[in-house]
Structure 1
């Protein structure tokens, strides 16, 4: 099972990590914010479909068509963990290669959006202070690494939960003869 976790976790990590790296380096960290998030989370869902495939394979090939919920869920979480680590490493590599200051760029974008929405001077001042504090925190790897991991892992938990719930039923997508 450990081999399966690393193989499918590695596949998922590469599916999500390579586009993240290429998009960050290629666009120098300046994709339009809504598009960047949509592309990012769509890629995460596609990548984490490896969880479903791995659980189904384990059920059909190694489990004789049966898998219990908790082992399936645990396997999904482990695959998500491996994919999440690769995602974090891809983000760190993209930051190092591109030289972008993500926190500062993000802060400027958020402030510009609030300004365009007609925020008051007091709101903008408070937001500017908050974004400066965020930039300081984000510079610390002990803050940045878990924060980056927290972008992908909840998606992995959700995919693992749904996959385990569906695939515990041997009649759901049964193995072909």
Structure 2
């Protein structure tokens, strides 16, 4: 199980880091709503390694069987790697590539009529929020993958 988690976790980490960072960098002129779509699509694509990791473990390392619980655990562990990749990409972007991101985002929100407070929590906090967001999506994908791939025979 450890080898599968590390292998597919690293795949997810590298994919998430490179694709999310590329999307942020090359999408700087894209409307924020489209940026969100691209961001969530990248998260889901990165988390596809959860399904493939569980399937690999079931078929190649565990004799064609896997329980629901073990599949969820494998999925969540792979999700940790992917979430770390997205969070790191977000942190790099908001500290090195576009340190004015929060000011720009606040200006756009004000321009669109948002009147509430938009605090600048800083890059570290926002990276943590991205990590947690990916983990929540990873939990959902892990549960769905476990339901699809489980068999106790």
RMSD: 2.0
Equivalent residues of 1:52, 1:160 under 8 A apart: yes
Contact 1:76/1:156 (8 A) holds in 2: yes
The range that moved more, 90-99 or 41-50, is 90-99
Q: Which ranges in structure 1 are unaligned for 5 or more consecutive residues?
A: 116-123, 172-177
Is the CA contact 1:55–1:72 (under 8 Å) kept in the aligned structure 2?
yes
Q: Is the 8 A contact 1:24 1:98 kept in 2?
A: no
Indicate if the aligned counterparts of 1:17 and 1:86 stay in contact, CA closer than 8 A: yes
Aligned counterpart, 1:92: 91
Larger Cα Rg: Structure 1 or Structure 2? 1
How many pairs align? 153
In the alignment, which residue of structure 1 is the partner of 2:54? 55
Normalising by structure 1, report the TM-score.
0.78
Task: Give the ranges of 4+ consecutive aligned residues of structure 1 lying more than 3 Å apart after TM superposition.
Answer: none
Under a length normalisation based on structure 2, what TM-score does the superposition of the two structures give? Answer: 0.89
SS in 2 for 1:114: coil
The equivalent residue for 1:10 is 10
Residue 159 of structure 1 pairs with residue 153 of structure 2: no
Residue 145 of structure 1: how far off its partner (Å): 3.1
2:129 is equivalent to residue 147 of structure 1: yes
Deviation of 1:152 after TM superposition, in Å, equals: 1.3
Which residue in the other structure is 1:39 paired with? 38
Cα distance in structure 1, aligned partners of 2:133 and 2:13: 13
